[in-house]
Structure 1
Amino acid sequence: MNFNTKLNEYIETLNCTAKDLSKYSGLSAATISRYRSGARIPESGSENFSNLVKGIVKIAEKEAITGITMESVTDALLPFVKTSDIDMDKFQANLNLLLNTLSVNISELSKALNYDASYISRIRNGKRQPADPQEFVCGISAFIAHHYQKADQKKLVANLIHCGTDVLADSIHFQKILSQWLTRETPALKNHMLDFLEKIDTFDLEEYIRVIRFDKMKVPSFPFQLSTFKNYWGLS
């Protein structure tokens, strides 16, 4: 099976025309025609693919046809579309790292993105892909940039994406740089030895002595001396 065959199956199930699908998806009739004939295939991360899925779901809702949801349509069509430029494995790893670091409430996130919480969980563990990965990334970044404005939260994000907290002062720039990190940077493994060496490098012995008040301790003004001879008593 290929993309156009699967699309035509949906059109038949919905008992709609290409004109109907064009109306509800916002795509041109010519684009729908090319998809149906197999002359063109959308990319998984494109706006066209996302709108096509939404159009199919809207018609299903209008006709009261159950079982046709954003999730089910996306899962059915994804195997037959072009792969987006986003590295989903990298995105999944960074997404989990971000959500765990900030202890993000998945229920609140799902409401903000208009996704089911269980669906987000499946995206996190690699069992699902969003219909429009770029839109999903932007949604997450916007949510974090808007809801995590406290100084300690920004510090966590700054340490995670390797930037200064001042860079995150502007929420729009915050969202932009976070989106870039989510899709482009591989999360680094924590190097405990490097952390240890860095701490040694910044260790201030004089400061440590002052903290433990070692400089206030009374010590003898002359060195200790050990006896250099011994006396023995006994019978001669």
Structure 2
Amino acid sequence: MFGKKLDVLMKLLNVSNVELAKAVYIDPSYISKFRKGERKLPRNSEFLFDICDYLVSVAIEKNRLNLVKDLLACKEEKNLEEISMNMYEWLILKNSVAEIINKLIGDISEENFNTYKREEQKILDKSIEKVETKYYYGSQGNKNCIEDVIKAVLSSKTKNNVYWNLAQSDSSNFEIENYYFKYSELTRELVKNGRDVKLIFSDKDYHIQLIILLYNMLTLFMTRRITPYLCKNKKINTVNTMVVVDGEMTALEFSNYDDLDNRVSILTNEKGIIEYNKGLLDNYIRDSVLLINVVNYEDSENYQNIYSSIYGNEGRYFLIEGYFSFYTLPEETALKIDRENPNLNFWKTYVKARKGFISMLESNGGIEIFQIQNVQKYNILFSGRVIEYTKEDFKKHILEIIRLLKKYDNYELYGSENLRENVSITINENCGLIIESYNSSNKLIQITDHNLNKQFVKYTFNKIKNAKIKGKIEVINYLESLIK
């Protein structure tokens, strides 16, 4: 798939193998073999980014940038770095990031994340021989190395944390079954046996890696058995992959980019090497930021503060929600709901959210996507709960939304037919996003990372593109039809 896509781009831009090879400092025969499907996708993501940056520059030079943007489905994008990133995603992924996020949102809406379900062990079927230092070669050797270190961990009587550094691991590898195996099944084995895993990302495409892993191991993230960090320390890339278990075992992987299919991996329990690598990873975590925060709803003040971080900052906001948002209620209806639900602290949260919402409409504006539905029940979503209100309250709510649409030019609504009713996504394009799951576990996912944020903004625009109801007049007509 990679080779065919690269071939399409090069033909579109009339770029030869020699020209591309010269630009990224490799032999032209590599490019030829990629295009013919005779060579696997390279594992060095920096190499791929260089290809994308060069092809974008050629598209500008030959006045074909709009053709490239059409091919990549990023027609509205103007930032050249973003176009290059879109090209990178298009080249390496079987499914677009928007499609992966769409599946992820579906899983969040359907899962109950109270506990991680125990399964029958698949990997630990025998104990491993005591290892001092052992070397492994090639892709299969790398997989064997990772399996052996996990077996050694599971054979241990201690329950120490596992540190897993992911550096220069091309995102497409997470969609290749044999390669992905070590990040998925083996991580599940660690968690099932009482170990918590700290994932440390540092590569340029970490946000794509994390979204794919989040989709494939959602419950482990939601129950905080896996904690993802982003390290700002560029020196982390001295090795490709590093696994360290407190005081017990370390595995290192080195790639040879002169021969992209060749690699050497080392497994050792030598105390000096373990302590050195553990020290490195401790330093990396100190230089890292937490990428995903999972919050429960017991602390209502914390819930308000998280929402204030979205609506209390500059930048346009986006909301994808099956029902109409609670902060668009008229005040009298919000007060009534507060009286009827005294334990929810509804009014205080409403006032904060409403103030931030109006402030954003008066500045950068906001976009909301709602579910087109035949109204039989009248509900709003709030703090992990679905709250029912009366038909008369619903009518007042719709009239207030129509008033706001007419008053604020920056307020846009779109109607979609395929939203998840019990999931809400709130995004500030500058400072983060919140995903709420309205099921029995009442979990809220908070993400403040800018690159992850941008992927969800792209997902939102994909939803807007496919919306059934667009434009203020059409939306207002639809809303009026709901209350006739």
Same structural fold, with TM-score higher than 0.5 when normalized by the shorter chain:
no
Larger radius of gyration: 1
Q: TM-score, normalised by structure 1?
A: 0.41
Determine which structure has greater relative contact order: mean sequence separation of CA pairs < 8 Å that are 6+ residues apart, divided by chain length. 1
